[in-house]
Amino acid sequence: MEQLSMEQLNVIAGAIMITIAALAGGFGNAMVISRFIEGVARQPEARATLLVQAILGVALVEVIPIIAVAFGIMKVLNIL
C-alpha cells in the first residue's frame, strides 16, 4: 500500500473542509428560511420584521462557511 504524501493529505483535508462548509451553509440557510416561512404563515402582519431578521440570519449563517472555504482553499494550495 502506498503512503500518501503531505501534499496529497493537504488536498484531501482542504476538500473535506470545503465540502462540509457547503453542506453546513446549505442546511443553515434552509433552517433560517423555513423558520421565516413558518413565522409568516403564523403571523402574516409581522412579515416585514421577520424578513429583516431572516436576511440577517442568512448573512450570519453564511459567514462561517465562507471562512471555512477560505481555509480549505489555503489548505489545498499549501498556504496554511
Instruction: Check residue 54 and give its pLDDT.
Output: 96
Question: Which residue type occupies 5?
Answer: S
The pLDDT-based confidence of 33 (bands split at 50, 70, 90) is very high
Q: Which domain holds residue 52?
A: 9-17+45-80
Indicate whether 25 belongs to any domain: no
Contact 29, 43 (CB under 8 A): no
Indicate whether 77 belongs to any domain: yes
pTM above 0.85, yes or no: no
Per the prediction, the chain carries an average pLDDT of 92
Indicate whether 3 belongs to any domain: no
Of 29, 37, 34, 38, nearest to 57 (Cα)? 29
Residue 76 has pLDDT above 90, yes or no: no
Instruction: Check residue 1 and give its pLDDT.
Output: 61
Indicate whether 1 belongs to any domain: no
Count: domains in the chain = 1
Determine whether 30 is exposed, middle or buried from the number of CB atoms within 10 Å of its CB (0-12, 13-18, 19+). Answer: exposed
Indicate whether 32 belongs to any domain: no
